[in-house]
Structure formats: C-alpha cells, structure tokens
Structure 1
C-alpha cells in the first residue's frame, strides 16, 4: 500500500519508539522495517510469539541476499518475523559494518518495501548526507522526521532537508511529502507551531504533523512489550495522531482516526 520512512537528522529523539507506537496504533496491515544503519534495535527489544529471541539472520540481510541475485522484485513476506503482541518486523542489521555489505542491494530493497501489499513503517534512524538508506527515502510515499525543538536539532533538520532537496529533487521536497513530528510535553504543544514557522521561513516545504508526547512510563513499557501499552495511553494516542496526519499528507484515505 504505502511506504513511510521515519528518521532523524541529529541525535536520538525517539525514532524507533515512534515507529513502534505508530505501528500499534495503525488501523490496517502494517510492517515495521528496521533500516537503521547504526544497527537495529527491534530484534533486541522483542521476542516471538513463543518467547524466543527474533532471528537476526532473517530479515534485511536475507532479503538483500536474495535481491542481489534476483531480476524481479523480491517479496518481503518470507523475511518477516512476528513479535509477541505486535505487527510483523523486518529485522535489521546486527552491526553497522553489515550496512556497507548490502551495497547495491539498497535499490532493490527499496522496491521490495514499496511493493509490499500492506503499509511499511521504515525505521531509518539518523539520516546523514549520502546515507545508504537514501534509495528508501526516494521510494517512500512520505518521509517523517522526528525532532526535539532544540536549537541544535532544528538547525540540523533544516540542513538535512536542504540536502535532501538536492539528493531527491526539489519536487519531492516542495511536493509536501516531508512531515515532521515534534517530541515534546503534553502540556506544551506550542512548540509544534514554532517549528512550523521556522520550517516555513527556511522554505523547506515540510509540514509539522503533530507532537509525539514524551511519556517515559509508556515508552519504557513499549520498548520491550508491544502489547503492554493501553490503546488510550498518551504515547499511543499521540503516535496515532502523527500517523494519521502523515497518511493524509501522503494522500492516502483515512478510514479511522487510528485509535484517537
């Protein structure tokens, strides 16, 4: 259906946590794909339905191996694993060194993710200039940057958006396919408006789609137990709002408010 690339421009604002929260609030079939070049966390956080660790050899690495040898788009289905209480996961690399070994497979990988019959939430981690995951960003229906409203992170976000305009073409940037989720307090949502004004002033074309509320207790439970966070919790409700607006930005019809 659609591919959504979730990433950050600097630091660790909570990309993986937001991906997991959005996946749990999603209202139709969805997959979490761990594409973090720094080394994936999803396989370390969750276990399968029998309580066993997820297989780190089945996922991105196995899909890339087949993609390199295939002349057609490789389905991702056989490479997915189902964690206890959550949607399927495409397990990422165990070590950063493995990212380089994927090499030219990133193009076919992006095609496989985009061709999946359900939605894909791709955890792309921190995106830098010339990142290996760039083909996935180019194939995505929408990009979602996660940022804390600090001077440092906003500066790097602005610079990264400018770099993407050069890499992907200005049509993609100014076509409003770029979304931003601001990490903040449930009591202080004015930060989102401030970030939008800054982005507008920079001419980035990015749209702030909401605030992902910092809920330490909920995020900690979600970190190791996908089914352990109530649907009405702050972390899932705020992620649901962000996810719904990203889908709207990408031009996909909403049939529900994703638990909101």
Structure 2
C-alpha cells in the first residue's frame, strides 16, 4: 500500500476525473486527496454535485498543523465519503479554498505526506490529485514519498510534447533519479493518433495504464451527471477497473521495494 501521485502537463487530460474514477474502482480502501494548487474544488462541484464540505479540507489540516495537533486523525476527520453505503471505504479530502492558500502550505507538506504514508497502518492507499505541474513543480515531499508518480496525458502531439518538457524536470528529482520505476505515464485515449507504445518509447517512460476516451460517460465522474444505464459496462469503466488493478499492484510493489 502506498501513494499514487497523479499530475499532468497540459492538454486537459482530466486528472481529477481520472482520480475520481480510480478511487471508485480501487480494489482496497482509498483516500483521494485534492492537492491541486489551483483550488478548483472540481470534485465537490463536479462528481459530488455541489455537496458542501462544511468547511472540511486542507485549510483545517493547515490549522491543525499550526496548532501542532496530530494530523492523522485530522485528515480522516476532514475527509468526506465519495460514496454512501460503501462496502469498501472511499474517502475524499477536499483541497484548497483559495489559489493563494497553496503558497502558504509549504511547511505542511512534509507532515501531511507522513500522514499519507501512515494511513497504510489504517488499511488505506492514497491517490493524490496534484493537478497540472506548475512553474514551481510538484510539492517535493509528495514526490519523495510517492510509490508512483504518474503523468496523465492524451495521445495528441500537443500533449506528448508538453509531457516531454515536464518529464525532464521531474526526472531531476532525487527520488525519481534513484527509483526510475517510480515514474510512469497514464495515457487517455491511446491511438488518437499515437499508440501507448509509441508514446512510451518517445518519452522514455513506461505506460502504466491506459484509459478509454469516453467523454459522454466521463461526465458522470467530472460533472456528477446521472449514470447512464450503460455506464457500468462502458469502455471507460472497464478501463478504469483494469487500470485500478494494475496501478494498485504497481504501487504495492514499489512501496515494498522502497521499504526493502
């Protein structure tokens, strides 16, 4: 068990939509953490259809950190369920309420990342939605402790070229220099026009999962639209189930390798 860090370069590949989809199909208890510095509140306004978080989220985590309180219980308390009446626990930690909040969160990241790692003791994996890679990069503690950092991209030339630029910067991180298997690609809509194999070869990184490009079905995950009767059997959901299984196994193996 460990941390899956999701990010993207450009080309609107739908990192948040993917994060929700993976959290809903993950084979083990999971916490989806919104760590996007853009403070878009995309899950609350999208999949959760305007559900109020009642003030819960990273702001309260920062307040607890300032007060030197134990963050493990705070993170669980500040999370909301992604699904009611669930057989497997699927929690969501809301993100920043303001874009400026991320700039003030620097001192919190190390301790929050420690909590994400410690959630293993509570039986949880953690999926982190880090949004697009900004000019300042990703929070270093998250990259340092993530079992897998996955760059999400589409198969268009624009998306591939943008990913190449940002992969150069990611590869400079000491964690990813020491553990090259800690970096991978998730391709959305392979074959439009480039195949996953072509993309992986071009970027020099393994494609760890492929997700079907199915905008109509994805609206349930991105905007909270009612499920189509065909949703559960759709190409999108089938690809999410396959990807969740593959990524959970990869995260587990990477976590064991780092600990060993």
Distance of 1:161 and 1:142 partners within structure 2: 14
Look up the match of 1:195: 199
State yes or no: 1:163 paired with 2:164: no
Look up the match of 2:212: 213
Distance of 1:92 and 1:243 partners within structure 2: 22
SS of the aligned residue for 1:120 comes to: strand
State yes or no: 1:231 paired with 2:229: no
- The TM-score normalised by the length of structure 2 is 0.82
Structure 1 residue 33 displacement after superposition:
0.7
Distance of 1:215 and 1:21 partners within structure 2: 12
Distance of 1:31 and 1:108 partners within structure 2: 17
Look up the match of 2:66: 68
Look up the match of 2:258: none
Structure 1 residue 90 displacement after superposition:
0.0
Look up the match of 1:29: 29
Distance of 2:222 and 2:81 partners within structure 1: 16
* Structure-to-structure mapping, 1:1-260, within 5 angstroms: 1-39=1-39, 40-47=41-48, 53-55=51-53, 57-70=55-68, 74-75=72-73, 76-85=75-84, 87-116=90-119, 117=122, 118-131=124-137, 133-174=139-180, 176-184=181-189, 191-200=195-204, 206-225=205-224, 228=227, 230-252=231-253
Structure 1 residue 120 displacement after superposition:
1.0
RMSD over aligned Cα, in angstroms?
2.6
The question of whether the paired residues in 2 share the 8 Å contact of 1:36 and 1:123 is answered with yes
Structure 1 residue 91 displacement after superposition:
0.3
Consecutive unaligned residues of structure 1, counting only runs of 5 or more, are 201-205, 254-260
Structure 1 residue 13 displacement after superposition:
0.8
SS of the aligned residue for 1:243 comes to: helix
- The TM-score normalised by the length of structure 1 is 0.82
The count of corresponding residues between Structure 1 and Structure 2 is 243
Kindly indicate whether structure 1 or structure 2 has the higher relative contact order, using CA contacts under 8 Å at least 6 residues apart.
2
1:131-179 deviation digits (Å, cap 9, x = unpaired):
35332122111111110122232222122222122223453452x1112
The question of whether the paired residues in 1 share the 8 Å contact of 2:32 and 2:127 is answered with yes
Consecutive unaligned residues of structure 2, counting only runs of 5 or more, are 255-260
